[in-house]
Structure formats: structure tokens, C-alpha cells
Amino acid sequence: MRRLILDTETTGLDFNDDRIIEVACLEIIGDSYTGKKFHKYYNPDNILINKQAEEIHGLNNDFLDKFETFDNSIDEFIDFVNNAPLIIHNAQFDLNMINKSLERTNNNKIKPEDSICTLEMAKKKFPGSKNNLNALCRRFDIGLESREKHGALTDCFLLLKVYVELIGGKQGRLIFSNKQGPQNENLTDFSNKTNLLIQLSKDEEDMHCKMINSIPKSLWKN
């Protein structure tokens, strides 16, 4: 079954007034990450990014000015999702943000039952414990070296590992395809979870560095 790990970054927490500024999705089939992903930055549509939000994800208005808005390019997101169930940490927030954009663009909303919330899964499995993504990564011995900020793509890769642990598997069972698409039978099994490193493309790495350098003072430079 095709499913997508999804994460967003936004200008703030108000789904009526704030906007989506980054979206990432990873395609998985069974326990396999197919190598197919969706990752885009978006112009905040004249909305000033909340200072607290900027400190969390590091994205600023100057960096995002050159991109299209999420609303104006939402069709490519819809085409990639293609009705696949979405696996999201704190699904209610991301779905509220996405559905508000879908509503503004006269598209069908994503139903809550078409998503899996890993936050709710973690609350049931570890009641009374911290269940944010960082806490779950530490609980499952998942390295956080790549998470110098809350980036949607980085968080999707981390959430993929967390999700496998939450459903009772082991990260070593994750299979990463060398090619895109579920038809590929030449799958590489990374049985050592320390080898499951996040691989960004050269363009993504350059874009990330440019964004970091554009921020005069950020949490990870203190």
C-alpha cells in the first residue's frame, strides 16, 4: 500500500491567517522507502513569518520571496499525494493548514480518516511521556545530528524511522530503494540503523546553506 510521510513548516500557528512555507513528503510502500519524495519551499503570500516560528525552522521572508505560494502551485502537491494516506506527527495541525489552502483553491479537503497521527500513536504507547519528535528519536536511539533546525524534509526522514518503531518494527527493517518506484526489486537493506543517513540532493544542500547564511542570528549559531 502506498503511503506518504508528510511534514510542513508554516508562518505561524493560525490556519486561517498563516501560510504553508515548506512541504515535504516521502513515499513508502510497506516497509520500503521508494526513493521518491516531494520537497518544496513556498512564498508566504505577504504574510510576515512569526518570530517564534522563524526561530524554530529558520525560514525567513527574504529567502522565501523568490518561490511561488503554496496556493498557486497546489496542483503539483495534489498530484503527488494522489489520495495516498498521510502519516503525520500532530496531524491535526498540518491537515488544518493544508485543508485551508485546499478550501481557498476550491479543492476537496483531506479527511482526518485518511491520515495517521504518530503523535496520537505515541501518546497511547507512552502515556504521560514527552512525545514530540525529538523525544521519540531519543527514546528509539535515532540520531538527531541532521536536525539543526525543524526542516520539513529532515523531519520526514526522522518520522519515517519513528513510525516504524511505533508500529513495532525495527529501523533495521527499513528498506531504501536505489531507484524510484515500488516496482524495483533491487532493494538495499540497511540493517544497521546508524547507516540510515539523510541524503539531500546538491540543489537542496545549496538551498539549505544559502538559507542558513541569510539569517543574521539563528539558534544553532549561538
Strands (E), the chain: 2-10, 20-29, 32-41, 86-88, 115-117, 175-177, 187-189
Active site residue 39: no
Angle formed by the axes of helices 152-166 and 118-125, nearest 10°: 40
- Which one of the listed residues 39, 57, 89, 150 is annotated catalytic? 150
Cell of 79: 498530484
CA distance 15 to 94: 9
Helix/strand/coil percent split, the chain, to 5: 40, 20, 40
Q: Are the C-beta atoms of 166 and 118 separated by less than 8 Å? A: yes
Residues belonging to the active site? 150
